[in-house]
Chains A and B, each alone.
Chain A
Amino acid sequence: MTNAIRTQTENGVAGFGELASLMGLMTGAEKHGPAATSTLDALWVLYDRVLRVSPETAKDPGRDRFLLSKGHGPMAYYAVLAAKGFFPRTWLPDFGTYDSPLGHHPDRTLVPGAEIGSGSLGHGLPLAVGTALGLRAQGLDDPAVWVLVGDAELDEGSNHEAIAYAGAAGLSRLHTLVIDNSSATHGWHGGIAAQFQAAGWSAVTVDGRDHEALHRAFTAPHPGRPHAVVAQVEPKDTGEPKVA
């Protein structure tokens, strides 16, 4: 794929520098603001340099899949999808309104490029496991499946089920991106990456604002095992309650 080419601004496709202004078009979502910016860099590096999917291939069975499990604060996601041309940036200002396809939690049936509807925590990783299994069962061994979760989201038991099974099953095309902004109340003894490793995953922890480090982590080989990238960002500190 020509990811390097697509980073050039052409045909309305934006670069990283424009994401802030795209996010600024979305108002009325202050509640989830910090949650949104925590994912911005990792999302951008994924869509810009790693994922083999574009508006033209968004329905191609051989595309890479990105599942936003942590559907809270999707402004960065919407900004990246708009920047990559999945839908018009003119949709952004109507964010969250009755007639807008863009809600405060995404709906896959309304948002071009969105693989799942999410918002209720703990659903994306099990869906990603099923997606990886389904692609493999159809001989589609090439597409990568990525799912983004938050560190607090890992509290959900459904994720524990998925992590344990995926490791045991050796789902090597499955990738989990954990955005760690220290929002889990109890955390994980020994750290998040160690928990994935204990379940048989390849796992690496990186600076979630360092694009080169993210890229290296995203593209690290992990033969025979699923791969987790824990992207650490500044702690969430808004005083808002944590919501499932």
Chain B
Amino acid sequence: MDTMRERFTAVTSRLLDEDPRLAVVLAEIGRDGFTRAQGRHPDRVVNVGIREQLLVGVGGGLALTGLRPIMHTFASFLVERPFEQLKLDLGHQGVGGVLVSAAGSYDWPAGGFTHMSPGDVALLDSLDGWTVHVPGHPDEAEALLRHAVAAGDDKVYLRLSEQTNQEPRAVDGARFLTLREGRGGVVVAVGPMLENVLGAVAGLDVTVLYASTVRPFDAATLRTAAAVAEAADVVVVEPYHEGTSTRQVNDALADVPHRVLGLGVGRRELRRYGQLDEHLTGQGLDPRTLRERITGFLAP
């Protein structure tokens, strides 16, 4: 199976042939995959060098002329370093673009914390109007990329990861999927957390919602699921900072007595290298630990 990033590069290269409005901005990272596309479209595949503020500023300028820019690098350099550029060069200018990140929360654990960005989605939550896609499979990444490119002038963040579910789901770029229904509570699994969550809740009488688009937050599906359960108890399992979507759950259930548990990556630096699976365990996001945390919360 290819990775989400490989799929992104291949599909975007084809979209550049088809869509004269599309442009790609890189800051060295990922440039090799776009060598051929840059040869065919030298004016619409721009590598600005190791300049992440310029990466986003250029994207904003391209958008001001009517193009649809895709900006791509590791999440830490795409969202955290040039955060004011995202705020001002896109949002404040009233233009949009597509941010496509890689490396996520711990895709390259041996690289350490410098290349981890578990706070990316929480940061974007401080800005207005961003759509956030968190695919769990390369097929979903492709579908959501196509949605993002076609989304007019919207501001879209596509968070790619090495962490992948074995099977793709039929995502539509907007709604949560109801994978299982139960009466003992609602578990929302975001993107690549799905299979660990399914393993964790095996045999439990709970509803499982699958979220590959988390902003806007599909409050309607959550409300429906919570109404089926005996109590509006909700667990959200996210591959980035724990609690990032807790506010959205509270807002969705504002008029319903409810409880919510946010699981995800802690703020504390682990200061560990190793492998992705070891970090999932280190964060308590492996199936066994997830089951303990979920049942501990949902059990009366």
CB contacts (< 8 Å) of A150 on chain B: these are none
Identify which of residues 128-158 in chain A touch chain B, using a CB-to-CB cut-off of 8 Å: 128-138, 140, 157-158
Q: Are B49's CB and A165's CB within 8 A?
A: yes
CB distance from B24 to the nearest CB of A (A): 11
Residues of A within 8 A of B (CB): 61, 107-109, 115-117, 120, 122-123, 125-138, 140, 157-158, 161-162, 164-165, 168
- The chain B residue sitting closest to A122, CB to CB, is B53
Distance between Cα atoms of A202 and B53 in the complex (Å): 24
Q: Are A61's CB and B66's CB within 8 A?
A: yes
- B243 proximal to A (CB < 8 A): no
* Shortest beta-carbon contacts, A-B, top 7: A130-B61, A126-B57, A134-B65, A130-B58, A137-B43, A161-B51, A161-B54
Q: Are B84's CB and A120's CB within 8 A?
A: yes
- The chain A residue sitting closest to B84, CB to CB, is A120
Q: Are B64's CB and A116's CB within 8 A?
A: yes
CB distance from B81 to the nearest CB of A (A): 11
Q: Of the candidates A123, A138, A168, which one forms a contact with B89 in the assembled complex, judged by CB atoms under 8 Å apart?
A: A123
16 intermolecular pairs with C-beta atoms under 8 Å apart: A116-B64, A120-B88, A126-B89, A127-B64, A129-B54, A130-B60, A130-B62, A130-B65, A131-B65, A133-B23, A133-B58, A134-B64, A134-B66, A137-B23, A158-B57, A158-B85
Residues of B within 8 A of A (CB): 20, 23, 25, 43-44, 46, 48-49, 51, 53-54, 56-67, 69, 84-85, 88-89, 92-94
- Of residues A61, A128, A162, which shows the largest number of chain B Cβ atoms within 10 Å of its Cβ? A162
CB contacts (< 8 Å) of B49 on chain A: these are 161, 164-165, 168
- Given A117-B88, A117-B92, A137-B44, are A126 and B58 also a contact pair (CB < 8 Å)? yes
Q: Are A123's CB and B54's CB within 8 A?
A: no
Q: Are B94's CB and A109's CB within 8 A?
A: yes
Q: Are B23's CB and A129's CB within 8 A?
A: no
Q: Of the candidates B57, B63, B94, which one forms a contact with A108 in the assembled complex, judged by CB atoms under 8 Å apart?
A: B94
Distance between Cα atoms of A88 and B25 in the complex (Å): 39
CB distance from A110 to the nearest CB of B (A): 10
- The chain A residue sitting closest to B54, CB to CB, is A161
- Of residues A109, A130, A133, which shows the largest number of chain B Cβ atoms within 10 Å of its Cβ? A130
- Given A123-B88, A126-B85, A133-B43, are A108 and B93 also a contact pair (CB < 8 Å)? yes
Distance between Cα atoms of A122 and B49 in the complex (Å): 18
Distance between Cα atoms of A125 and B20 in the complex (Å): 25
Q: Of the candidates A117, A138, A162, which one forms a contact with B57 in the assembled complex, judged by CB atoms under 8 Å apart?
A: A162
**10 new A-B pairs (CB below 8 Å) besides A120-B88, A133-B43, A133-B46?**
A117-B88, A123-B88, A129-B58, A131-B62, A133-B23, A133-B58, A133-B62, A136-B43, A140-B65, A158-B85
Q: Of the candidates B44, B48, B61, which one forms a contact with A127 in the assembled complex, judged by CB atoms under 8 Å apart?
A: B61
CB contacts (< 8 Å) of B63 on chain A: these are 130, 134
CB distance from B93 to the nearest CB of A (A): 6
- Given A133-B61, A137-B44, are A127 and B89 also a contact pair (CB < 8 Å)? yes
CB distance from B72 to the nearest CB of A (A): 15
Q: Are B44's CB and A158's CB within 8 A?
A: no
CB distance from A162 to the nearest CB of B (A): 6
Distance between Cα atoms of A161 and B58 in the complex (Å): 11
Distance between Cα atoms of A127 and B89 in the complex (Å): 7
- Given A123-B88, A137-B67, are A128 and B43 also a contact pair (CB < 8 Å)? no
Distance between Cα atoms of A104 and B93 in the complex (Å): 16
CB distance from B37 to the nearest CB of A (A): 13
- Given A116-B93, A117-B93, A133-B43, are A128 and B88 also a contact pair (CB < 8 Å)? no
Distance between Cα atoms of A193 and B174 in the complex (Å): 51
Distance between Cα atoms of A112 and B223 in the complex (Å): 43
CB distance from A175 to the nearest CB of B (A): 14
Q: Of the candidates B23, B89, B92, which one forms a contact with A134 in the assembled complex, judged by CB atoms under 8 Å apart?
A: B23
CB contacts (< 8 Å) of B51 on chain A: these are 161, 164-165
Q: Are A165's CB and B93's CB within 8 A?
A: no
Q: Of the candidates A61, A115, A161, which one forms a contact with B53 in the assembled complex, judged by CB atoms under 8 Å apart?
A: A161
Q: Are B65's CB and A127's CB within 8 A?
A: no
CB contacts (< 8 Å) of B94 on chain A: these are 108-109, 117
CB contacts (< 8 Å) of A138 on chain B: these are 20, 65-67
- The chain A residue sitting closest to B50, CB to CB, is A161
Distance between Cα atoms of A122 and B92 in the complex (Å): 14
Q: Are A127's CB and B53's CB within 8 A?
A: no
CB contacts (< 8 Å) of A135 on chain B: these are 65
Distance between Cα atoms of A133 and B67 in the complex (Å): 10
Distance between Cα atoms of A122 and B63 in the complex (Å): 18
- Given A116-B93, A127-B89, are A134 and B57 also a contact pair (CB < 8 Å)? no
Distance between Cα atoms of A157 and B82 in the complex (Å): 11
Q: Of the candidates B25, B44, B48, which one forms a contact with A161 in the assembled complex, judged by CB atoms under 8 Å apart?
A: B48
